[in-house]
């Protein structure tokens, strides 16, 4: 049973089609990536899922049914347009937002205390929100997303405005939430950030879904016949089973395009037989960015 089920949703703003027949399912306990470049329709899709917008056509179910007020308490949402009430103290702001998620006062106080401690915001709790730095506000917002321990966490561009240390912290928190069995939908254009995190993903471009499935499967489908090799020796110009050798940089990195029918194991054997000292031997798996660019350029060629 899927936590979110999106069936062929479409949304137009005037003449502009923001989302065009997008479908995907999010299953319990996974980190699901909703990926795509800026303006692809990610945020609009999320807003439709959250019942902020109504779709022009298509259907969305959350927790096996339409969105209700009660279900909103089971969802934590970190919107792309970040914001907290600027004119009130941080602690009070978080408590108010937690109470709107149906949280009991005592429990929310305890949890907010713990989170403020963990996010290093203890000093700032009595300060007005507008006095906090952007990064601090972002962390505070994350607290309000997680404090009611939602079953479904939806975060839109979680890494903007965060430095590397805080980025890592957010990643750790997301992994921790997944290990607790929470379902996470992560919406971002920074595809390299989610490669280590996502279990499954959908890739949206210009409102259309262009890729959908588990990360491993997608990678496998796009893995070509290229092997990355690093060595301090000079490679011979002709290696049996290799059709092309490309020197990627001066540090001894090479990309070897392998002949059809030759497995990486066979190539490794050949290299060892040639007595080449290998520092690294790796089957090149494309990054999401590369896959995305490949898809998009292929489509454009098809359109022309």
Partner 1 sequence: MNKTWLIIKHEYLRHVKRKRFIFAVLSMPFFVLLIVGIGMLTAIFSTNNSPIGFVDHSGLFKNPVMPEFEASLPFTKPMQILPYANEEELNAALEAEQIQAYFVINENYFENGSIVLVANEEPDSTVLRDFREFLNLNLLKDFPKDISNRLLEGGTVEVRSTDDGREMSSDNIFAFILPFLAGFLFMIAVQTSGGYLLQAVVEEKENRTMEIILTSSSPNQIMTGKVIGNLSVGLTQLVIWIIVGIIGVVVLQSNFPEVQLAQIDTRFLGLMVLTFLPAFVMIAAMMATLGATATESREAQQIAGLFTLPIVVPFWFFGVLIESPNSPLAIGLSIFPFTAPVSLPLRAAFTTIPAWQIVLTVSLLFVLAAAALWLAGRAFRLGMLRYGKKLSLKELFKKA
Which residues would be at the binding site for partner 1 (CB under 8 A)? 47, 50, 52-54, 69, 72-73, 75, 77, 79, 81-86, 88, 96-97, 99-102, 144
**Residues 6+ positions from 265 with CB-CB distance below 8 Å:** none
Is 49:36 a contact under the CB 8 Å cutoff? no
The distance of closest approach from Cβ of residue 89 to partner 1 in the complex, given in angstroms and rounded to an integer, is: 11
User: Residue 170 and residue 183: Cα distance in Å, rounded?
Assistant: 15
The distance of closest approach from Cβ of residue 87 to partner 1 in the complex, given in angstroms and rounded to an integer, is: 8
The distance of closest approach from Cβ of residue 77 to partner 1 in the complex, given in angstroms and rounded to an integer, is: 5
The distance of closest approach from Cβ of residue 170 to partner 1 in the complex, given in angstroms and rounded to an integer, is: 18
The distance of closest approach from Cβ of residue 79 to partner 1 in the complex, given in angstroms and rounded to an integer, is: 4
Of 33, 25, 32, 75, whose CA–CA distance to 51 is shortest? 75
Q: Which is nearer to partner 1, 27 or 96 (CB)?
A: 96
Torsion of CA 46, 51, 55, 58, to 10 degrees: 90
Count of CA atoms in the C-beta half-sphere (13 A) of 67: 18
**Residues 6+ positions from 14 with CB-CB distance below 8 Å:** none
Q: Which is nearer to partner 1, 62 or 271 (CB)?
A: 62
**DSSP β-bridge partners for residue 13:** 16
Q: Which is nearer to partner 1, 140 or 170 (CB)?
A: 140
Q: Exposed e or buried b for every residue in 28-58, given b needs 16+ CB within 10 A?
A: eebbbbbbbeeebbbbbbbbbbbbebebeeb
Q: Which is nearer to partner 1, 77 or 292 (CB)?
A: 77
Q: Which is nearer to partner 1, 144 or 188 (CB)?
A: 144
Is 204:17 a contact under the CB 8 Å cutoff? no
Q: Which is nearer to partner 1, 98 or 291 (CB)?
A: 98
The distance of closest approach from Cβ of residue 56 to partner 1 in the complex, given in angstroms and rounded to an integer, is: 10
């Amino acid at each position: 049973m899927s936590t979110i089920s999106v069936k062929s949703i479409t949304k137009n703003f005037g003449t502009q089609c923001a989302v065009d027949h997008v479908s995907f399912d999010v299953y319990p306990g996974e980190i699901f990536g909703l990926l795509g470049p800026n303006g692809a329709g990610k945020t609009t899709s999320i807003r439709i899922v959250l019942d902020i917008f109504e779709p022009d056509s298509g259907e969305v179910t959350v927790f096996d049914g339409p969105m209700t007020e009660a279900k909103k308490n089971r969802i934590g949402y970190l919107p792309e347009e970040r914001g907290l009430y600027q004119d009130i103290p941080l602690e009070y702001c978080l408590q108010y937002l937690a109470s709107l998620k149906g949280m009991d006062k005592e429990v929310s106080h305890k949890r907010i205390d713990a989170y403020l401690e963990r996010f290093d915001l203890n000093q700032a709790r009595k300060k007005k929100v507008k006095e906090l730095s952007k990064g601090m506000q972002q962390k505070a917002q994350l607290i309000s997303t997680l404090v009611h321990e939602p079953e479904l966490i939806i975060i839109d561009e979680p890494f903007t405005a965060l430095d590397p240390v805080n980025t890592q912290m957010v990643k750790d928190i997301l992994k921790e939430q997944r290990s607790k069995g929470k379902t996470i939908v992560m919406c971002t254009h920074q595809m390299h950030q989610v490669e280590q995190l996502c279990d499954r993903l959908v890739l949206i471009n210009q409102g259309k879904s262009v890729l959908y499935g588990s990360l491993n499967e997608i990678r496998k489908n796009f893995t070509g016949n290229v092997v990355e090799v690093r060595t301090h020796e000079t490679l011979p110009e002709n290696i049996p089973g290799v059709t092309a050798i490309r020197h990627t940089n001066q540090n001894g990195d090479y990309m070897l395009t392998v002949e059809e029918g030759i497995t990486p194991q066979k190539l490794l054997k050949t290299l060892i037989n040639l007595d080449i000292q290998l520092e690294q031997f790796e089957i090149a798996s494309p990054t999401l960015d590369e896959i995305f660019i490949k898809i998009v350029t292929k489509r454009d060629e098809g359109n022309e």
